[in-house]
């Protein structure tokens, strides 16, 4: 092929010395083609189509066509980032931030009070988060007040105080940041007292509402809500919260861990007097194995249970609703309670019921692999939750072992990458598989001479053959 037939505008394929054949080459390091975003913005008034990926860029060959394509892709990326998201007048929801930095002044004192009390004291600030100011039943981490809670998101988010006339919805930091990030909430920094903001109703105008406060950007919301302390949430906990909310789950912050009750909570009814006496008379006493000799004593056995009971010499773990009192406190704790999306139609914030999952958030960079005592302490902080009655039977052993008697999901966050691991208090010693052999629940056709098989043996029967007797 001559040099005249080569079109320099066509991207060249990877050569033997190109970067694609290098062991350290990463395709993610290549500049991406963002021109499809510009095509979506141009057809905003028409029909929406699925965008196509741009042409794959290979090694640079110094042509003007390749430079123009790269410049157009960069410009499309900048245009997409410069897009201003606005709130419509009908769907706009404004919220006010009353965290640590917003102080509520005390009521002004009259001249009579000043004369009676002597010199006027310096004006002190009042704690806005105090129950006497905003109402009872709210967590101190709820620092965002919503003017008008309209929309489907507030059906499972936020909480309303008790004992106040003008009750407003208050949000936790992760809830407010999630709604701001979605564009469903307009967050403001107030310049008026809390009582004045609570009494305000109706729509607002951005130009006319600047005297009430200052609108906050998404970057400002991150700086206000992310951190450690009161009214803040860690970046790992928020990433897990946002991931579960986008998936469709109902996510609520778990209450502080309390010491579990020492009283066992069992669904089984207490045995009757006759059953207790019957078990005392006919129960087999535990036998201590001999220090030497065979574990299974010679003799005639008519049950596999007797044989396997003699082989069981290592103690196994048996779950109990009574927790160990002298166990050290675990640094791990349950962060969120999770409900499945199917529970949303009947979900009530006042009475949510038992959660479907309990999630403990762990940072992979700041926390090492938990020890056995730490995992046991985390599991003991959860309520007693034995396997369901529907899982009783030989074919449901996997479900029982997976669920366990207590279970927690560890959400391990490594620089934004979330991995979910299930930790459960399983009882492998309670799954006595050898009892199935006595009930005939072994492998089909396993018994020698059984009638389960359809063999074609040469039996001595009176079958009809082709010839007579020889």
Q: Of 219, 92, 249, which Cα lies nearest the Cα of 157?
A: 249
Write out the DSSP string of 56-80.
PP-S----HHHHHHHHHHHHHHHHH
Kindly report, residue by residue over 397-446, the tens digit of the pLDDT. 888 888 888 899 999 999 999 999 998 888 887 888 777 777 765 544 44
pLDDT at 101: 55
pLDDT at 279: 56
Q: Between the ranges 165-179, 229-243, 441-455, where is the mean pLDDT highest?
A: 229-243
> Alpha-carbon distance 84 to 272, whole Å?
72
Both tokens of 170, joined, read 């208050």
Kindly report, residue by residue over 316-373, the tens digit of the pLDDT. 888 877 777 667 777 889 999 999 999 999 999 888 999 999 999 999 998 888 888 8
146-157 average pLDDT score: 87
144-153 average pLDDT score: 86
Neighbours of 218 (CB within 10 A): 13
> Is a pLDDT exceeding 80 seen at residue 240?
yes
Domains and CATH numbers, the chain: 3-81 (no CATH), 94-106+124-225 (3.40.1170.20), 234-259+298-319+327-442 (3.40.1350.10)
> Is a pLDDT exceeding 50 seen at residue 56?
yes
Kindly report, residue by residue over 279-323, the tens digit of the pLDDT. 555 555 556 767 777 888 888 888 888 888 888 888 888 887 777
Angle at 397 between CA 393 and CA 400, to 5 degrees: 105
User: Reduced to 3 states, what is the DSSP secondary structure of residue 171?
Assistant: strand
> Alpha-carbon distance 383 to 255, whole Å?
13
> Is a pLDDT exceeding 80 seen at residue 65?
yes
Kindly report, residue by residue over 375-397, the tens digit of the pLDDT. 888 888 888 888 888 888 777 88
Neighbours of 253 (CB within 10 A): 19
> Alpha-carbon distance 345 to 347, whole Å?
6
The DSSP H or E segment spanning 311 is: helix 304-311
> Alpha-carbon distance 310 to 434, whole Å?
13
Radius of gyration of the chain measured on its C-alpha atoms: 35
Kindly report, residue by residue over 154-179, the tens digit of the pLDDT. 999 998 887 666 678 899 999 999 99
pLDDT at 235: 95
SS3 helix, strand, coil % of the chain, rounded to 5? 30, 10, 55
Higher pLDDT, 194 or 140: 140
pLDDT at 355: 93
Higher pLDDT, 90 or 402: 402
Both tokens of 125, joined, read 């600030």
Burial, 440: exposed, middle or buried (Cβ in 10 Å; 0-12, 13-18, 19+)? exposed
> Is a pLDDT exceeding 50 seen at residue 145?
yes
Report H helices in 15-141: 35-42, 64-81, 111-117, 131-134
> Alpha-carbon distance 354 to 120, whole Å?
54
> Alpha-carbon distance 95 to 103, whole Å?
17
Both tokens of 275, joined, read 């059953």
Task: Give the largest CA-CA distance in the chain.
Answer: 139
Q: Give the number of residues written for the chain.
A: 470
Angle at 264 between CA 317 and CA 309, to 5 degrees: 30
pLDDT at 11: 45
Q: Which residues contact 385 (CB under 8 A, 6 or more apart)?
A: 403, 405, 406, 407
Percentage, residues of the chain above pLDDT 70: 60
Mean pLDDT in the chain?
74
CA 237, 240, 246, 247 torsion-angle sign: negative
Separation in Å, CA 6 to CA 145, 199, 237: 66, 74, 56
Kindly report, residue by residue over 102-126, the tens digit of the pLDDT. 555 555 544 444 444 444 444 455 5
Q: Of 362, 424, 379, 435, which Cα lies nearest the Cα of 399?
A: 424
Asked if residue 209 lies in contact with residue 303, where contact means CB atoms within 8 angstroms, the answer is no
pLDDT at 418: 95
> Is a pLDDT exceeding 80 seen at residue 273?
no
pLDDT at 232: 92
pLDDT at 264: 45
246-271 average pLDDT score: 68
In this structure, the strands spanning 94-97 and 186-190 are parallel
Torsion of Cα atoms, 461 then 462 then 467 then 470, to 10°:
70
> Alpha-carbon distance 60 to 228, whole Å?
47
Asked if residue 172 lies in contact with residue 253, where contact means CB atoms within 8 angstroms, the answer is yes
Q: What are phi and psi of 354, to 5 degrees?
A: -70, 135
Kindly report, residue by residue over 66-76, the tens digit of the pLDDT. 888 888 888 98
């Amino acid at each position: 092929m001559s040099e005249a037939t080569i079109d320099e505008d066509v991207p060249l394929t990877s050569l033997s010395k190109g970067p694609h054949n290098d062991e350290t080459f990463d395709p993610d390091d290549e500049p991406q083609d963002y021109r499809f975003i510009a095509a979506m913005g141009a057809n905003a008034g028409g029909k929406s189509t699925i965008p196509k990926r741009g042409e794959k860029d290979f090694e640079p060959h110094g042509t003007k066509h390749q430079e123009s394509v790269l410049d157009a892709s960069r410009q499309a990326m900048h245009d997409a980032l410069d897009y201003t998201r606005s709130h419509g007048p009908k769907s706009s929801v404004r919220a006010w931030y009353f965290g640590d930095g917003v102080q509520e002044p005390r009521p002004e004192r009259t001249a009579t009070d000043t004369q009676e009390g002597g010199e006027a004291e310096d004006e002190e600030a009042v704690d806005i988060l105090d129950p006497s100011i905003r109402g009872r039943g709210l967590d101190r981490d709820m620092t965002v007040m919503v003017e008008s809670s309209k929309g489907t998101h507030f059906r499972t988010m936020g909480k309303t105080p008790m004992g106040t006339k003008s009750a407003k919805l208050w949000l936790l930091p992760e809830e407010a940041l999630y709604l701001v990030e979605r564009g469903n909430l307009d967050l403001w920094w107030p310049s008026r007292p809390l009582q004045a903001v609570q009494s305000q109703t109706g729509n607002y105008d951005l130009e006319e509402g600047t005297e009430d406060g200052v609108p906050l950007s998404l970057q400002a919301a991150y700086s206000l809500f992310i951190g450690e302390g009161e009214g803040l949430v860690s970046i790992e906990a928020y990433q897990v919260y946002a991931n579960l909310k986008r998936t469709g789950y109902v996510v609520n912050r778990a209450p502080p861990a309390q010491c579990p009750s020492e009283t066992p909570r069992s669904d089984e009814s207490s045995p009757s007097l006759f059953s207790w006496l019957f078990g005392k008379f006919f129960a087999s006493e535990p036998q201590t194995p001999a220090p030497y000799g065979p574990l299974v004593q010679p003799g005639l056995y008519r049950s596999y249970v007797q044989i396997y009971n003699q082989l069981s010499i290592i103690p196994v773990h048996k779950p109990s609703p009574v927790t160990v009192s002298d166990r050290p406190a675990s640094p791990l704790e349950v962060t969120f309670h999770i409900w499945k999306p199917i529970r949303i139609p009947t979900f009530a914030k006042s009475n949510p019921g038992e959660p479907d999952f309990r999630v403990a958030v762990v940072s992979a960079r700041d926390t090492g692999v938990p020890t056995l005592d730490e995992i046991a302490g985390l599991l003991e902080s959860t309520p007693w939750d034995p396997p369901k009655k529907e899982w009783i039977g030989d074919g449901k052993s996997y479900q029982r072992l997976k669920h366990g008697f207590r279970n927690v999901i560890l959400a391990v966050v490594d620089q934004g990458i979330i991995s979910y691991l299930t930790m459960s208090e399983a009882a492998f010693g309670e799954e006595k598989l050898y009892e199935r052999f006595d009930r005939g629940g072994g492998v089909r056709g396993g018994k020698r001479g059984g009638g389960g098989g359809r063999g074609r043996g040469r039996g001595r029967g009176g079958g009809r053959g082709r010839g007579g007797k020889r």
